[in-house]
Amino acid sequence: MDLVDKAKNFVADKVANMEKPEASITDVDLKDVGRDGVTYLAKVAVTNPYGVSIPVCEIKYSLKSADRVIASGHIPDPGSLKGNDETMLEVGVKVPQSVLMSLMKDIGADWDIDYLLEIGLVIDLPVIGNFTIPLSRKGEMKLPTLRDLF
C-alpha cells in the first residue's frame, strides 16, 4: 500500500510543478463604434513553454463598471498556442448602446468609465486536461463622442 501512495504523491508532485502557459492582458482599446454599441478589443499575450502547439478551448470574458456587468460572453475554439512561442489573442467585447446610456450618470465630466475586465483562458493541457488561466485588468476607457458615432 505504501508503494501506491508513494506513486500517487510522486505523480501529483510532478503535475503540480509542471510548467504551465502564462498569460497577461497587454492592452484594451476602442475598436469599433456603431449605432448598436461599442466594441473594445483586449489583447492577450500567452506564452507556451511546450514544444508543441496547445489548443485553446474557449475564452470567457466579463466587463464590469460601477459594480455591474456591462458585457460578458465567450469565444469558443479561438485557435491554438504556438509551441515555444508567444501568441497574441484578441478578445472583442461588445457593449450595447443601451448599457452605455445607463452609465451616463457614472461617466462624469471626463467622458470615461472605470472598468474591470476579467478573462478566463481555458487551455487543454496534455495529461492535466482543461486548465483555466484567470486574468484581470482595471483601468479607464474613453467613451466615443457624438462625432465618433456619426
Per-residue pLDDT of the chain (150 residues; tens, 9 = 90+): 577 777 667 665 655 667 888 999 999 988 888 888 888 999 999 999 988 899 999 999 999 987 889 899 999 989 899 999 999 999 999 988 877 777 666 666 566 778 899 999 999 887 778 889 999 999 887 766 656 555
What domains does the chain contain, in order, with CATH numbers? 19-149 (2.60.40.1820)
Amino acid at 22: E
Which ranges in the chain belong to alpha helices (H)? 2-16, 97-102, 104-107, 146-149
- Cell of residue 78, nine digits: 479561438
Beta carbons of 77 and 59 less than 8 angstroms apart: no
Give me the phi and psi of 17, to 5 degrees please: -95, 5
Which ranges in 23-125 belong to alpha helices (H)? 97-102, 104-107
Question: Residue 58 has what pLDDT?
Answer: 95
pTM check: above 0.95? no
Q: 132: which strand partners?
A: 122
Question: Residue 118 has what pLDDT?
Answer: 96
Beta carbons of 65 and 71 less than 8 angstroms apart: no
- Cell of residue 65, nine digits: 463598471
Question: Residue 135 has what pLDDT?
Answer: 95
